[in-house]
Every structure is written in C-alpha cells, then in structure tokens.
Chain A
Amino acid sequence: AQSVTQLGSHVSVSEGALVLLRCNYSSSVPPYLFWYVQYPNQGLQLLLKYTTGATLVKGINGFEAEFKKSETSFHLTKPSAHMSDAAEYFCAVSDRNNNDMRFGAGTRLTVKP
C-alpha cells in the first residue's frame, strides 16, 4: 500500500517569503500525487496533481510541486507567501485507479505579517 509522510506539522513563514512544504511518499507502483488545501471548517480543495509527463506541476494560487522519483518526494513550493495562504495542506498518493488515496497527516501553514 502507498503511504505519505509530511515533514513538519506546522510551518511558519513571513509574508513574501518562500513557502516550502515537504512530502515524501512510498509506493510500489507508479503513483499519482496530489496536494490539497483545507481552509478552516471547509472541505479539501485540489491545489495540483501529478499523474504522468512533466515532473514540475503548476497549480492554483501560484503553488507548484516537483515530482522527484529518485528522492520519492513531491514538495510544494510558492515563491512569495500571502496572508491568504494560511491553511492546512495535505499531500496524498494513490495508485492509477485512484481508489485507495492515502493522505499525509497535514502541515499547517501560518503566514506572519
């Protein structure tokens, strides 16, 4: 079965600073990889996904992630944090059927003014 490890349950950055949220995965088959964002008292919203092809994936709100097979990583980055980016972020992995999606424990991003 697949699994995901998100390094750091809390990350705090200043407004305008680089955002880096780390995700490592384990999968015995070629994975689908996802980043979701969750704002307080809301459901999960897809930020971006990797299926096949280009390993650098661009998502909404200026976020991007790079699939690195050799490092089994899918870290999420944004060059300049905005106050509205404060939320909880989940990395997820699934097989190609996308019926057994496994989520990481989440990283809460705080953005300081």
Chain B
Amino acid sequence: NAGVTQTPKFRVLKTGQSMTLLCAQDMNHEYMYWYRQDPGMGLRLIHYSVGEGTTAKGEVPDGYNVSRLKKQNFLLGLESAAPSQTSVYFCASRPDTSGAKNIQYFGAGTRLSVL
C-alpha cells in the first residue's frame, strides 16, 4: 500500500527559482493538505483541498499556490522561492467521513532548502 507519496524527497533551490512539489494518494481520499514543518513550530497548514478542482487557504498560504486537477494529486508550487521557505513540507489526505475514520494520513515529507 503506497498511501501518500511525496515527490521529490529532497531539493535545493536558489532564491527566485520556482518548483512544484507533488503529492499523490491512492486511497481515493477527498481531502488533501499541505503543511510546512519548522523547528519549534510544529506543522502549519499552507493550503488544503476538499475535493477535485477546489482549494482553500490555510494558516500560512503566502508565497505558495496549489492545484487539484485530479482527485489523487495535490500540487504545491513556489513561484519565486525565498530562504524563508526553507522547510520540510508534508502532504496529508483523509476520507470524506466523520467520527473515528476522520484521520489525516501523512506522506514522508519533502526537505527543501532555498539558498
């Protein structure tokens, strides 16, 4: 079972470069999320999607764009990378349900350094 797969695992960018992080899930989940993790700050929500073709802003959306053209994929874009975007990025997904099965499943993360 692949679950949530993030590509790439590591990346180094120069300031001003652009890149796209890919998140793919094979669990037919409706909801998908992008977080960033910084030391001493836990995870913070960047953007999320409640279904194919929809996106919404989270806690720290500035400097990022997202797209959900296919249900299984959620892309996170950096148009002009800045050193402040050096972080570990996590993708998560969850089913459209309530109660006990309302759980977010996380990918292994993408470590991004912006020089």
Contact residues in A for B43 (Cβ distance below 8 Å)? 44, 90, 92, 103
- Flag whether A72 is at the interface (Cβ < 8 A): no
Contact residues in B for A31 (Cβ distance below 8 Å)? none
State in angstroms the CA–CA spacing of A27 and B4 once bound together. Answer: 29
Contact residues in A for B22 (Cβ distance below 8 Å)? none
Interface residues of B in 39-87 (CB under 8 A from A): 40-45, 48, 50, 56, 58-59
Contact residues in A for B4 (Cβ distance below 8 Å)? 43
Contact residues in B for A103 (Cβ distance below 8 Å)? 35, 42-44
- Flag whether A70 is at the interface (Cβ < 8 A): no
Interface residues of B in 1-51 (CB under 8 A from A): 4, 31, 33, 35, 40-45, 48, 50
The chain A residues found within 8 Å of chain B, CB to CB, are: 4, 9, 32, 36, 41-46, 49, 51-52, 90, 92, 96, 98-106
